Structure 1
């Protein structure tokens, strides 16, 4: 049931009678269910603010469902905070923070055995292990383990090491140095473990120095392939080290809090540092109506109400009621817990990492469940006739007028629908640089086909650009007789342009509707740019082959199609090139020699 104006006026008049004391307020729907509990320093002022004009989308959504209001006065604002927390736990209101635990991130574990094992896990409760991580991107774990396995082959047999008479397969394929058959001593094995711990702790200088020395020796011995492998390992190691910011050798117990929100949707992350290592991670996703600072405070009170062991220091990504929090911990544990917002150094890096984790979890959940909050916000902001479940986006990419292409990406329920992506080579430009004409051609080709084949029409078309690009697309749609909502998103200020409207629509930074438009626009740009690069790369490869004596355009294209890539031709021997490309051996030898000299 929607609140009509009569109910809104009645509630507003009721709130004018609220006291100016601290306390909590309770909002109920038409079925008398509690949908929101809030605290206030001055009840009347706080609750009246919900009735102000120009409310954001999340407050508007809440107020559409409010049917009745009530309040409870407390002596202090701190008492209101505690009462708010208790009532939230009791009623679990729809629009308050409701902690839903998510899956933990992976870490790399090293056992404390005589011959330790190194492996990936999500469980950090085993006291027989040291843990390194967490890693928000699982690929980083596999990259580390691949580097470790190539540099320092370790045993993979589970449990404690058992002596064997014969080695296993891993020894024969050089994936293990055979400690079980005494081919590797305990000291030698644990020297490798020390190096691995240095790598995972970010201390890679000594390891890289040794690898560079080994690479130089291989090069001097003309073992270039092995040297190249080491070079690639060093490059990967440096890149991974730059991403790994989470080892701290200060023994203080710390928690780092991260958050990410868009509209009323929040993700919180807690990274736990114990005795210098990140030992655990938890993330929670929820909805909340209120300011970001209030949401953070409510999360912290709820989270630590469920935990009996508190850290010495909690590092936050932003200010909130720190005095309240410190008082809460003293009353609940007789222990001083310091609450800080770091401004520099390792602690700031760890908070930024927590924020990054929160954002990645938020985006992962959106990809999984869809982004309906953003779609509803976008419908309202652009005054669309229907919920924009299907959005198609266009962008143009070119290089000095060459290889001009257009991308068409499709989003369904706010997430990419890659099976419906398309790409176009521009045919009407003749080497000219003309974004407007390019947009016209791409839109015409796409929606002519939609009409001819009776395909599904989108609920919204988004153009990467401003008024000019939108006008070009609109002219084509009018010519085709199509009435499809159309918008353009201009990069510089993120302004939204609509056909026939001189002034742009300005959506608040971080708002759910803008979030969707930016995701579509960024994907169109990526897809168009990737296609442009692909065409340039193909042209470069064809040019390289065409430079070989005896190879013309047709034969060059045929050879490339056969092998797929110049590098694969270079890695083949002349006989293989001759057989697969169906050319004589002499010409194959010429190709091989030419490409391997480049």
Structure 2
């Protein structure tokens, strides 16, 4: 019969991608697995099944830890790393690498990336084994979009014609002399950095190489490196990989599960949204929403708000506006967070709760105050104070600080735009409403100066006023 504590844990497991860690009565890790849906996969072990592995494994499961992650592909990589760390006895085939796919980087002048079933003593670099070959193939193809190294077994001793892979952007064409050995090696290093989880180190190298190219006036190479750096940053957003210390923290401390337990949440908070307000004297006030999935930033969930309905210094009113705009339509409600965190104290907490109650939304809300890092909840008058070295507190601080950073960044942008566009105050026919429309339409004065007259007329600005605005904008730039 399943123990009550284990049954309660199963009910809180989220329906998201992730890795699950099964332990026996001694607390030893006996199995590590991944899933596109943690909830469905883990619960399947406790349903009637003729699966031999389940019949042997399930009676020994006394505890389960789950690590929700950003995507199924991250789960694949994380599973591999945890199996290597824990060496669970029921992952024996994966530990030995028998019949499971590996990624191989060949030891050649222009290395190739291949998916193989066996590790040979040929000085190649191997990563894995991995449990899902179909997913691994998708992952490798995805990586080659950013780091286009070849996947063929072609001999590279003479120049030949490029193949289809080059034309679709998945290979840089070393066989046809389209890329030099030094530049190609940097692509290979990017792939290796990815599988080793060393984004940050490789990013530093790219910046260093770019600076060196600029110093020797090699601007063509510098531009290529700049583009590579941009691609790496976009890749990090789409496919975040945890650094080793973060992996250890999430794997051993199980931050999200502990957070759910501390706050008595109905389920593990895979998606957390953080909110903050930034304003000086109520001028150009801005709000921010950041999102964390599986404990890491989820950039697609970020949003900035320019405060529209609140004048003066009223943080609570501004926060109410932001929350209302976040959830005011069915479209906006397609992705509901498991937890909302707001920067501040009890006042900010109540402001958010008030709007959620009006909108009939049942979403857990907490606030985190900076002074003593107190966590305020709706169900207790006393704040929760966690130890300063608590991984749970560190996660909440990351969400709070990121919301704060994002709000300040947008607020500064709005103030800068207002200052730069101050020349508009001198133009007859441009009031606050038209100025606001121009600020929303044109991100900077250069784009305004280069605008066509019709673009301004579309904003219902008279033709003669539009001409004057463009003329003045050009004068400001030329100064």
TM-score w.r.t. the length of structure 1 is 0.40
Q: Which of structures 1 and 2 has the larger relative contact order (alpha carbons within 8 angstroms, sep 6+)?
A: 2
The answer to which structure has the higher strand fraction is 1
